[in-house]
Structure 1
Amino acid sequence: MTKAKVALVTPPMAKACEVDPAVSVLAGFLRSAGVDAYPIDGNLTFQERLLSPDLLDVYAAKVAAEGKGAATTSAHRATHNVARAMTRLKSPSGYTSYNRYRGSIGELNEGFRLASRALGCHITSSDFTHPYLSPLSSGDLALVGREPETILTSSALESVAEELLKGSPTIIGISISYLSQALHAFALAGMLRRAGFSGTLIAGGGLVHSWRPRITPQSPLFELFDGIVTGPGEEALLAVSKAGNIVDTPGMLAPRHSIWNRARSKGSVGFSPWGDTLRWKDYISPAPILPLSASRGCYWAKCAFCPEAAGDRQPYVAADGDLLAAEVIKLRDEAGVKYLHLTDNALSPAHMRKFAERFRGEGIRWYGFSRLEKKLAEPGYLEALANGGCSMLQLGIESATPRLLSMMGKGNDHELTSRIVNGAAEAGIRVYGYFLFGLPTETYSEALATVEWIKEHADALTFLNLSLMNLPGGGEMEESPESYGLTEVREKDMRNDLSLYRDYSGVKTLERRELRKLLGEARRDPIVRKLIKQTPQGFSANHGAFAPLP
Structure 2
Amino acid sequence: MEEGRRIGAHSAATPPAENRRQCREAIGIPARGEEVIPDPGMAGGFTGGDARGNGIDTWTRRAAKHLAENLAALRSRELYRNPDRYRRAVTDLNRLLAIAARPSGVRVSLADYEDRRLSPVRSADLLLAADGPETNPFYLWFRERLPEILAETAVSHVGFSLNYLSQALTTFAMIGFLRREWPQLRVVLGGGLVTSWMRRPDWKKPFAGFVDDLIAGPGEVPLLALLGTEHGGGPDRPDLSGFPLTDYLSPGTILPYSASSGCWWRRCSFCPERAEGNPYRPLPTAQVTADLRALVAETRPALIHLLDNALSPVLLDTLAADPPEAPWYGFARITPSLADPGFCLKLRDSGCVMLKLGLESGDPSVLAALNKGIDLPTAAAALKNLRAAGIATYVYLLFGTPAETVAAARRTLAFTAEHAEEVGFLNLAIFNLPAWGPDGECLDTGEFYDGDLSLYRPFSHPRGWNRGKVRHFLEREFKKDPAVAAILRRDPPFFTSNHAPFFAMP
Question: Given the two structures, how large is their TM-score scaled by the length of structure 2?
Answer: 0.86
**What does 1:441-456 align with in structure 2 at a 5 Å threshold?**
441-456=403-418
Which amino acid in 2 is paired with 1:430?
Answer: A
* TM-score calculated relative to the size of structure 1: 0.79
| Cα drift, residue 103 of structure 1 | 2.4
The offset of 1:171, in angstroms, is 1.1
Give the aligned partner of residue 334 of structure 2: 372
- Give the superposition deviation at 1:435: 0.2
Q: Secondary structure at the match of 1:432?
A: strand
| Between 181-190 and 321-330, the greater mean CA deviation after superposition | 321-330
Cα deviation code 1:400-455 (max 9, x no counterpart):
11111111121111111111111111111000000000011421111111111111
Q: 1:198 to 1:217 in 2, by over 3 A?
A: farther
1:353 aligns with 2:317: yes
Q: Give the aligned CA root-mean-square deviation in angstroms.
A: 2.6
**Contact (CA 8 Å) 1:534, 1:549: kept in 2 or not?**
no
Q: Please name the residue that 1:140 is paired with.
A: 125
Q: Structure 1 78/159 Cα, relative in aligned 2: closer, same or farther at 3 Å?
A: farther
Residue 491 of structure 1 aligns with an amino acid whose one-letter code is E
Give the corresponding residue for 1:529: 485
Match of residue 196 from structure 1 = 182
What is the aligned partner in structure 1 of residue 461 from structure 2? 506
Give the alignment of 1:128-527 within 5 angstroms: 128-167=113-152, 168-214=154-200, 219-242=205-228, 272-311=237-276, 313-359=277-323, 362=325, 364-478=326-440, 480-481=441-442, 486=443, 488-493=444-449, 495-521=450-476, 522-527=478-483
Match of 2:34 in 1: none
Letter matched to residue 162 of structure 1: P
User: 1:187/1:270 Cα in 2 relative to 1: closer, same or farther (>3 Å)?
Assistant: farther
Alpha carbons of structure 1 residues 305 and 214: separation in structure 2 relative to 1, 3 Å: closer
The CA deviation string for residues 201-230 of structure 1, in whole angstroms up to 9 with x for no partner, is: 110111101001448786442242111111
Deviation at 1:376, TM superposition (A): 1.8
Q: Are the structure 2 counterparts of residues 323 and 57 from structure 1 closer, same or farther at C-alpha, using a change threshold of 3 Å?
A: farther
Cα displacement string for residues 368-401 of structure 1 (whole angstroms, at most 9, x for unaligned residues):
1101111222341111101110100100011111
Residues 63, 118 of structure 1: 8 Å contact kept: no
Q: Match for residue 19 of structure 1? A: none
Query: What letter matches 1:496 in structure 2?
Result: G
Deviation at 1:72, TM superposition (A): 2.2
Q: How many residues align?
A: 462
- Identical-residue share of aligned pairs (%): 35
Give secondary structure in 2 for the equivalent of 1:546.
Answer: helix
Determine the C-alpha separation between the residues in 2 that align with 1:322 and 1:549: 27
CA contact (8 A) 1:271 1:292 kept: no
Cα distance between partner residues in 2 of 1:473 and 1:93 = 44
Q: Structure 2: state its 5+ residue gaps.
A: 1-40
Give the CA deviation at 1:270.
6.0
Q: CA deviation at 1:356?
A: 2.5
In 1, Cα distance between equivalents of 2:364 and 2:204: 46
Q: Deviations over 1:7-42 (max 9, x none)?
A: xxxxxxxxxxxxxxxxxxxxxxxxxxxxxxxxxxxx
CA contact (8 A) 1:130 1:151 kept: no
Change (3 A) 1:70 1:516: farther
Contact 1:138–1:219 under 8 Å retained in 2: no
Correspondent of 2:75 among 86, 90, 101:
90
* Aligned CA distance change for structure 1 residues 441 and 336 (closer, same or farther; 3 Å): closer
SS in 1 for 2:96: helix
Distance apart, 1:70 and its partner CA: 9.3
Structure 1 match to 2:33: none
- With over 3 angstroms needed to count, the CA separation of the structure-2 counterparts of 1:229 and 1:415, relative to structure 1, is same
Which ranges of structure 1 fall in alignment gaps of 5 or more residues? 1-54, 244-248, 250-266
Which of 495, 498, 503 is matched with 1:542 structurally?
498
Asked if the contact 1:271/1:294 (under 8 Å) is kept, the reply is no
- Alpha-carbon distance in structure 1 between the residues aligned to 2:346 and 2:266: 27
The SS at the match of 2:187 is strand
Matched residue, 1:50:
none
Query: 1:526 and 1:405 mapped to 2: Cα distance?
Result: 25
CA gap 1:382/1:219 in 2 versus in 1, 3 angstroms: same
Structure scoring higher RCO (CA < 8 A, sep ≥ 6) equals 1
Partner of 1:47: none
Deviation at 1:163, TM superposition (A): 3.6
